[in-house]
Structure 1
Amino acid sequence: MSINTTKPLRGRPKTLDRDHVLDVAKDAYWKEGIGNVSLNEICRRCDISKPGLYREFLNEDGLMKAVILKYQEQVINPVLQIVNMEMPVRETLENLVSFATSVSDNQETPKGCLLIKMRESRMHLGEATRTQIDFIQEQALTTYRKWVETLKAKGKFSADMSSEFVATYIDAQLSNASSQIARGEDPQTVKKILLVAFSVLG
């Protein structure tokens, strides 16, 4: 005779699918804008209760931070990896341009960059999300700075500009291109403008 010593679990079983909630929230924020999607609407689309969402993410700020962390992993990190590859200056810049101006034929796919959209909607963000976004931006700027410094050390960067200026310039141009794409401007036109903007770097 065996005795079952397993204690019964307390509370309600966890049924919330974290990845599904993050995907729904990410698409909603990306397509419709941070200030246009309520937490109640996200709960409705995910068919979950608000208390259930709070148990997983603590609050709306926690949800938004989790969304941008997932976006960083899926989109931002691969972009920064382009910069870290050992390629000629022009090829690296052209790859950044192609990435920034690529638009899916699928009408349901959001346009532009979620990170840029969230940076432009700081008033709707909580402290944790703002801090994470600032951290991601600083990571990007650091990556661009180190890229320029490495090229200069090898004599492969001829533009007479400081690494700090170039990093800020690249970030500003990519941000502007993303905003243009999000507004529905012609991707090919945006691409040409961005290529011209980057031509001063090499």
Structure 2
Amino acid sequence: MDKVVKTRRGGPRTFDRDQAIDIAMRLFWRHGYEGVSLNDLTAAIGVAPPSLYAAFGSKAGLYREALDRYFGLRGPVWDIRTATTLQETIETLLHKAIDAVTDPAGERGCMISSGLIQCGPDHADLARETAERRNTMREMIAETLGRWLDQENAVSLARYLVAVLQGLSVQAYDGASRQELRQVSDEVIAGVQARGFS
């Protein structure tokens, strides 16, 4: 819902909360939590700091909502639920992830895979929450793999695939092309096949 807030100049502005979250998500995705200042956020969103605090409580509160928004995007983990074989599941996960982290319409990399890996002690709670989201992602993958594998192998393979996803995210952020990342995924798929999983 839109609400009217006062800017520092005293003129009323329409503050679109959803749009603010989208803008913040893109900034945090591109620069990380500590790479985005309060001034960056207020300038990009077009509101004064008191308005941002009134809407989100704090920069951390806005980051949490941006993470919620990002996590709710239909990503590769959701796409694997319709796969009909183990091999299709792994290929879909890796290929869709590569498409996502190299999509020119988005930002490079993955906000969750590489978010708040390192941070100052003041942001340890946020780092734990981001790690919990990575754990949730891994559990979702393991649950899907469990359609074809026993629990131990499903959990082990899910952990391996999440490590690959994190590596793909970092390489995409560093400028690797979709084709280069597909070469990585081809190697991963071949390795999984060699272990007799598919």
Q: TM-score range, shorter-chain basis?
A: 0.7 to 0.9
Unaligned runs of 5+ in 1: 1-10, 154-160
Partner of 1:42: 41
Q: Does 1:196 align with 2:187?
A: yes
Partner of 1:170: 161
Question: Residues 46, 172 of structure 1: CA spacing in aligned structure 2 closer, same or farther, 3 A cutoff?
Answer: same
Question: Residues 125, 187 of structure 1: CA spacing in aligned structure 2 closer, same or farther, 3 A cutoff?
Answer: farther
Tell me the TM-score normalized by structure 2: 0.80
RMSD of equivalent CA atoms: 2.6
Aligned residues: 182
Unaligned runs of 5+ in 2: 7-11, 193-197
Partner of 1:74: 73
Partner of 2:130: 133
TM-aligned CA deviation for residue 86 of structure 1: 3.9
Higher-RCO chain (CA-CA 8 Å, sequence separation at least 6): 1
Match of 1:112, as an amino acid? Answer: G
Question: Residues 126, 17 of structure 1: CA spacing in aligned structure 2 closer, same or farther, 3 A cutoff?
Answer: farther
The structure richer in strand per residue is 2
Tell me the TM-score normalized by structure 1: 0.78
Match of 2:177, as an amino acid? Answer: D
CA distance in 1, matches of 2:171, 2:121: 21
**Is this contact kept in 2: 1:82–1:96, CA < 8 A?**
yes
TM-aligned CA deviation for residue 15 of structure 1: 4.1
CA distance in 1, matches of 2:18, 2:121: 23
- Alignment counterpart, residue 123 of structure 1, candidates 120, 125, 130: 120
CA distance in 1, matches of 2:31, 2:157: 32
CA distance in 2, matches of 1:146, 1:125: 34
Partner of 1:5: none
Partner of 2:86: 89
